[in-house]
Amino acid sequence: MTNDALPTRNGASIHALAGGVTLMRASFADHAFERHSHDCFAIGATTHGIQRFRCHGRQYDSRPGDFVLFNPDQDHDGRPGTADGFRYTIWYLPTDFVDAGYFRTPHVSDGRMAERFRALSASLADTRGEALRAESLVRAFAATMVERHGGAARMTAGGAMARVRDAIHAGFAHDLTVTELALVAGVSRAHLIRAFGAVYHMPPHVYLNAVRVNEAQQRIRRGMPLTQVALDCGFADQSHLTRRFKGSVGVTPSAWRRMIDS
């Protein structure tokens, strides 16, 4: 399926590639993504319309020929910029695919690389029996993007807020409270919210939701029933999982499972 073959309203196709890479091609006319982040890198190219999003408090409009480039844990949302909607292709890459690098900005215009990305994505959509080829091509393209639009070393956060981040990763299955996380950091509850936002550009509850959705995806890949996924990942029930999953990923957990398994 090419991007042009996607539904004109809301639809997506997802392919699990070698090395833990996920390729998604999607079309959205009236869906708005909640503010969220990913525990991986993302390289995406808009292929039709305007993909409007906010990242670190700034609004961007991505058009055909433009890339969206997200580092791990970088908060963003997304919605159509016009009534015509938008289409895009995006790769979700494990952190080691962008070795010791990071993207300087979440939005760049690079028509030549966007065309290479489009052609490569179309080729990668069917790579059964060619795992080495697929992973090699993705790694090479990611390295080129870092050379053109990235830096030599990723910035990391340390200290109290890093302990809070680690506590969220360890306790995502529980109904965490501000009081608990403030105790981990050794600061007041009010200071926790301000300090965490200053470091990670999102409040703790948005970060927690991102961790839960990422954990849910891993369990769905393993074939776990959605009711169990919801409970294991800290959601109140399957309906709660579905709302938050679709808000971050763009499709429901059941639809995402069908696409991964197809």
For every residue of 143-192, DSSP letters joined together read: HHHHHHHEESS-----THHHHHHHHHHHHTTS---HHHHHHHHTS-HHHH
Closest CA to 157 of 211, 102, 97, 206: 102
pLDDT of residue 97: 86
Kindly report the average pLDDT of the chain as a whole number: 90
- Structure confidence at residue 125 (pLDDT): 79
Average pLDDT for residues 24-43, to the nearest whole number?
Answer: 93
Is a pLDDT exceeding 80 seen at residue 227? Answer: yes
154 pLDDT band, cuts 50/70/90, is: low
The CATH homologous superfamily for domain 160-261 is Homeodomain-like (1.10.10.60)
Minimum mean pLDDT range among 45-59, 64-78, 106-120, 182-196: 182-196
What fold does the segment set 3-151 form as a domain? Jelly Rolls (2.60.120)
Write down the pLDDT at residue 57. Answer: 86
Q: What is the band of 11 on the pLDDT scale with cuts at 50, 70, 90?
A: confident
**Is the pLDDT assigned to residue 77 strictly greater than 50?**
yes
One-letter amino acid for residue 253 of the chain? P
Examine domains 3-151 and 160-261 and report if their fold is the same. Answer: no
Most confidently predicted of 125-139, 184-198, 221-235: 221-235
> How high is the pLDDT of residue 158?
66
The pLDDT value recorded for residue 129 is 65
216 in Cβ contact with 228 (< 8 Å): no
- The pLDDT assigned to 2 comes to 42
- In single-letter form, the type of residue at position 64 comes to P
Tell me the domain boundaries of the chain: 3-151, 160-261
- The Cα–Cα gap between 237 and 226 comes to 9
Residue entry with tokens 């015509």: 84
Is the model's pLDDT at 3 over the cut of 50? Answer: no
Q: How far apart are CA 44 and CA 24, in angstroms?
A: 9
For 100, 108, 191, 206, the CA distances from 23, given in Å and listed in that order, are 22, 20, 39, 24
Q: Flag whether pLDDT at 104 surpasses 50.
A: yes
Q: For 66-144, list the strands marked E by DSSP.
A: 66-70, 76-80, 86-93, 102-103, 107-109
In this prediction, residue 7 carries a pLDDT of 44
Closest CA to 44 of 19, 74, 10, 7: 74
Angle CA(140)–CA(146)–CA(152) in degrees, nearest 5?
Answer: 120
